[in-house]
Amino acid sequence: MPQGIGPIGIYHSHPFSSEIFHSHTDNLTLRSLSNQFLDSISIVTNGEEINFYHMDKESKTEEIQAEFIDVEIPKFLLISIEEDLLLIINNNMLKKSTDKNSIKIMILNKLRDFLEEIWFDFVFSFNNSIISENDLIKPYLVEDFMGKPIEIRFPKNYKTINKIKLIIDNIDGSEEVKIENNQSYFNLNIKAKIPIYITDENATFKKVNQTIKTELLSNNILQKVYNCVIDYDKKLIITPDDCYLNFFGFFIRVLCFNKKQLNKLELSQKTYELIYKLVSLFNSLVNTELSNKLKNQIKIFFNDVKKISKKFNRYDEIRIKETIKKENLYY
């Protein structure tokens, strides 16, 4: 995976049987997964006992013993960008658009092509000093969002009066429309602050450049544009902000707007479903002995959930009630 994060295996239960076994179908599923991700494991449980399996060198299922260890979360590069763009959109294009998504896709495609084209001209800086592509990333790695980020800046030669101008004059590329005076000006602020997890601390910025590009452009900025709200009166393209849930040391990004009404219309249901699934995972820990470190990580996660849920109208539904009752984990 781009950041060294991905599936490690599969699991399922046999709830109505005391027997634990790995079926022919399980073997095929594990073999298929192992072809994509080496050393994948399969876990089968009857609710009390747990068996672990993997594929041996002959691609046959083999039962193995599991050893539980407290792994160290990899550090990450904290990348930030903030720029104002001026989008010049032909009014005929606005009239042609039959729904709001067609305009968003039109903007998204134009912005994607532009960012792809100028990516290698971007300037990476830290404390106002330029970072070379041959610099090692190790001195810039951090463990939380309190660290100082690496800033990515647009090249000055692409700016006109301190703004990037993008002209959007056709939707599907089939025709060119003369803009002249028949145009509208929309302001778009792109803003992101993202973690890029690193497994090789001795890598150079040149080596991780593609990873940064993928995470920043495809998995952040363009997603925000697709989830934007267009204010036609004020000529603003409002993109959501980044909020993060600290999930056992990894940061899961949740999009949210500053205005609750926008969250309700655009993002509330999606966010509720994600948080609900994450919170549901903790039901399995009710009867489990937890270390103090794990207890603390769970507390941090729940606190982040509370903070984020207050931004949405579904706060009362998301609120943590009796998910974890054991010892001092009850909220």
Tens of pLDDT along 237-266? 999 999 999 998 889 999 999 888 888 888
Check whether residue 260 and residue 220 sit in a common domain.
Answer: no
Calculate mean pLDDT across residues 111-135. 94
Q: Give pLDDT, residue 84.
A: 92
Position 121 pLDDT exceeds 90: yes
As for how many domains the chain has, the answer is 3
106, 96 in Cβ contact below 8 A?
Answer: no
What is the rounded CA–CA span in Å between residue 275 and residue 154? 35
Give the mean pLDDT of the chain.
84
Residue range of the domain that includes 19: 9-64
Identify the weakest region by mean pLDDT among 5-9, 39-43, 273-277.
Answer: 5-9
**Within-domain flag for 71:** no
What burial letters (b/e) apply to 89-100, b meaning 16+ CB within 10 Å? bbebbbeebeee
**Within-domain flag for 3:** no
Q: Give pLDDT, residue 177.
A: 47
Q: DSSP characters for 169-234?
A: --SSSS-----TT-EEEEEEEEEEEEEEE-S-TT-BHHHHHHHHHIIIIIIIIHHHHHT-EEETTT
Check whether residue 155 and residue 301 sit in a common domain.
Answer: no
Position 329 pLDDT exceeds 80: no
How many Å is the Cα radius of gyration of the chain? 24
Please, which pLDDT band fits residue 182 given cuts at 50, 70 and 90?
Answer: confident
Calculate mean pLDDT across residues 49-75. 87
Q: Give pLDDT, residue 328.
A: 47
Check whether residue 152 and residue 204 sit in a common domain.
Answer: yes
Please, which pLDDT band fits residue 71 given cuts at 50, 70 and 90?
Answer: confident
Of 39, 64, 89, the position where a domain reaches its end is 64
How far is Cα of residue 91 from the mean position of the Cα atoms in its chain? 34
Of 239, 262, 296, the position where a domain reaches its end is 239
- Which residue would you say has higher pLDDT here, 137 or 102? 137
Q: Which tokens go with 245?
A: 């849930």
Check whether residue 276 and residue 144 sit in a common domain.
Answer: no
Check whether residue 234 and residue 250 sit in a common domain.
Answer: no
Of 38, 64, 90, the position where a domain reaches its end is 64
Q: Which tokens go with 38?
A: 């080496």
Q: Which of 50-54, 182-186, 320-324 has the highest mean pLDDT?
A: 50-54
**Within-domain flag for 2:** no
Q: Give pLDDT, residue 316.
A: 59
Q: What's the pTM value of the predicted model, to 2 decimals?
A: 0.77
Q: Give pLDDT, residue 8.
A: 87
Check whether residue 230 and residue 288 sit in a common domain.
Answer: no
Q: For the chain, how long is the longest CA-to-CA vector? A: 76
Residue bearing tokens 């993002």: 267
Residue 39: count of CB within 10 angstroms of its CB = 9
Check whether residue 226 and residue 249 sit in a common domain.
Answer: no
Nearest CA to 11 out of 289, 284, 302 is that of 284
Check whether residue 261 and residue 150 sit in a common domain.
Answer: no
Position 304 pLDDT exceeds 50: yes
Check whether residue 246 and residue 234 sit in a common domain.
Answer: no
**Within-domain flag for 69:** no
Q: What percent of the chain has pLDDT over 90?
A: 46
Check whether residue 107 and residue 219 sit in a common domain.
Answer: yes
